[in-house]
Chain A
Amino acid sequence: MNLSFDFSFYSWDLVSNFILKGLYFSVMLTLVATLGGIFFGTLLAMMRLSGRKWLIVPATIYVDGMRSIPLVMVILWFFLLVPLLIGAPIGAEASATVTFIAFEAAYFSEIMRAGIQSIPRGQVFAGQALGMTYGQNMRLIVLPQAFRNMLPVLLTQTIILFQDTSLVYAIGAYDMLKGFEVAGKNYGRPIEAFIAAAVVYFVICYSLSWLVKRLHKKIAIIH
């Protein structure tokens, strides 16, 4: 077996023709799924902590259900089933975006639930005693603190999410990994392309983890 690699085919042209488009999609998917996931995840967490059975039961089933299925299957099912349900095909990219938001919401909801529960009851009492409604108390007192306490965990989940975006290969969406794959094929150097992809994923994720650690020290609430 010849293990000598030749990366000399990499050029700005290759990067701009094949990789950037994929990288852009991977990053956008990560951002949108993070924001959407945190938004819906927070709603799910609030449902589970509401003390009302008709809110707790569906939210629990949804979260536990999503967390028990491999992401790649959700991606596939969604891509295959939704067109049947709505009677029109949806693009791989749109399908992937909706799937990721729905899937990540389950994971973010567990993080936000832990975050909300970490806020002492006395804080809620204090907000109430000042005349805040349930919504104001959540929005102004509980969630901002929960969010700050949980930020490192949320960002770590985002890094995992960025890696997981590569699973959209299952439905043929054009993400960063796909970009490297196509480039490798076009230049007849698939192995080098996948190595380069691994390096780029590693560098991005490793730098993000390092940033999370630094950020954590900076934003921690003083108690």
Chain B
Amino acid sequence: MIELKSVSKWYGSFQVLDDCSTRIEKGEVVVVCGPSGSGKSTLIKTINALEPVQKGEIWVNGTPVHDPKTDLPKLRSHVGMVFQHFELFPHLTVTQNLTIAQVKVLRRSLDEARKRGLKMLERVGLMAHKDKFPGQLSGGQQQRVAIARALSMDPIVMLFDEPTSALDPEMVGEVLDVMVSLANEGMTMMCVTHEMGFARKVASRVIFMDVGGKILEDCTKEDFFGNPDARQPRTKDFLGKILQH
């Protein structure tokens, strides 16, 4: 479904991704973790070309993302993305947030878009807030709307970039619950997150990135958590740190 082949990226002379390769099969849930600045956000954004790369190949569902001739808006319209800071459109109501891209990008009728959008809103449990503006919702609610917005586009894969790290602790659970249920329904997902409980519960694989933009580990959840001796020292060190609290 998704394939990265020797992807490298530089900002000027500063390398942020160093020869990254991985594959994500349909229905897999891949968790990406690693220290701050290791390039996790950059890596996940290369998949829908929000971040262009200088070297390597990226394939999504048979589409060459690295190819300058690829119709990127069309590709992105069926790759869902959820951001750390939600990025709902503050000048639009919740319903408008859910429908605008369906209407303008997918060319659905407003009726159809509303039906689809509200169904997704229902599924994240926020039907009562459909006419509010994003600024009137809590962080956790905004993030759930953001997930519903991405789902309304009928994505073939969902990308999450630290979806819970801007939330107050008591709101993390409600967002993770939605993500777990998505995973259980067989959605293909790539999640940058440090919620190891989530990883243990639903991840198929875990990728660990280290400073310099290198993929240091790319293994099954069972290996990642259950077999510490097979892990790199850097990984053990990192896991030790984040599992302490």
Contact = CB atoms under 8 A, between A and B. Distances in A.
Interface stretch (B79-87, B219-227, B235-243): B79-87
B73 interface: yes
Sort chain B's interface into a size bin.
Answer: 20 to 34
A131 B136 contact: no
A129 B104 contact: no
Given A140-B104, A221-B135, A222-B133, A129 B81 contact: yes
Given A128-B76, A129-B76, A131-B76, A136 B105 contact: yes
A186 B15 CA distance: 78
Contacts of A120: 85, 87
B64 to A, nearest CB: 17
Contacts of A141: 89
A127 B97 CA distance: 10
B91 A131 contact: no
B69 interface: no
Contacts of B75: 131
Interface of B: 45, 48, 50, 73-81, 83, 85, 87-91, 100-101, 104-106, 133-136, 149-150, 153
18 contacts: A120-B85, A125-B81, A126-B81, A126-B83, A126-B88, A126-B89, A128-B73, A128-B76, A129-B80, A130-B76, A130-B101, A131-B78, A132-B101, A132-B105, A145-B89, A148-B91, A221-B91, A222-B134
Given A125-B50, A129-B150, 20 more contacts: A120-B87, A123-B89, A125-B81, A126-B89, A127-B101, A128-B73, A128-B76, A129-B48, A129-B76, A129-B80, A129-B83, A130-B101, A130-B149, A131-B73, A131-B75, A131-B78, A131-B106, A136-B104, A141-B89, A145-B89
Give 9 nearest A-B pairs by CB, closest first: A131-B77, A222-B135, A126-B87, A130-B101, A129-B81, A131-B105, A131-B76, A122-B87, A131-B73
